[in-house]
Structure 1
Amino acid sequence: MLVRYFAAARAAAGLEEEVHQLPEGSSLETLLEAALAVERPEPPEGTPSLSRVVARSSFLRNEVAVRDHSAPLGADDVIDVLPPFAGG
């Protein structure tokens, strides 16, 4: 499964995207646990940790909003991590 990070999530993760090899049918919850378990360098000063950003983020699965974090995912799914943002 491909995870793409945007804005503050990208800064906290230290990269734009990464692939996680999880069994077919794993949930978004399981995928997020795997992403948070990756050892990462400290984010830049003033940037919250990835776990903090993820806790406040919304998610897209193949460009469709995910509401049920326990729903099964496919091995080829693309998950976007979208932290809260402001602007207009």
Structure 2
Amino acid sequence: MTSAGGSVLVRYFAAASEAAGRDEETLTVEDATVGAVRAVLLERYGDAMSRVLASGSFLVDGVATRDDARPVRERIDVLPPFAGG
């Protein structure tokens, strides 16, 4: 079930944490999908986050994804690209 205007816990790792200036935060995201969260993060953190998201991915329900249509229920992790992975 997609969260409509609900709270989403966003956790940041490595370069994503540096770009956001924090390890986690709770955001209110309309029709919470990976794409909606991505848009909020780009608007909020600009170029620094854009560089991370250009080659990074998200972890939703234990699955790494770059699918903007994937629903986000309660939590999403922002993962930078990892060397050798």
Query: Structure 2 length normalisation: TM-score?
Result: 0.74
In structure 2, stretches of 5+ residues that fail to align are 1-7
Is 1:73 the equivalent of 2:72? yes
Is 1:52 the equivalent of 2:51? yes
Identity among equivalent positions (%) equals 46
Between Structure 1 and Structure 2, the one with more helix by share is 2
Question: What secondary structure is seen at the aligned counterpart in 1 of 2:29?
Answer: coil
Is 1:33 the equivalent of 2:61? no
Per-residue CA deviations over 1:9-63 (Å, capped at 9, x if unaligned) read 111111101111123x4221111111222258xxxxxxx7111111110110132
Between Structure 1 and Structure 2, the one with more strand by share is 2
- CA–CA distance in structure 2, aligned partners of residues 36 and 54 of structure 1: 9
Q: Which residue of 1 aligns with 2:10?
A: 3
Query: Structure 1 length normalisation: TM-score?
Result: 0.72
Q: Following superposition, which runs of at least 4 residues in structure 1 exceed 3 angstroms of deviation? A: none
Is 1:85 the equivalent of 2:82? yes
Q: CA RMSD of the aligned region, Å?
A: 2.3
Structure number with bigger Rg: 1
- TM superposition shift of 1:66: 2.1
CA contact (8 A) 1:6 1:81 kept: yes
- Aligned match of 1:19 in 21, 26, 42? 26
In structure 1, stretches of 5+ residues that fail to align are 41-47
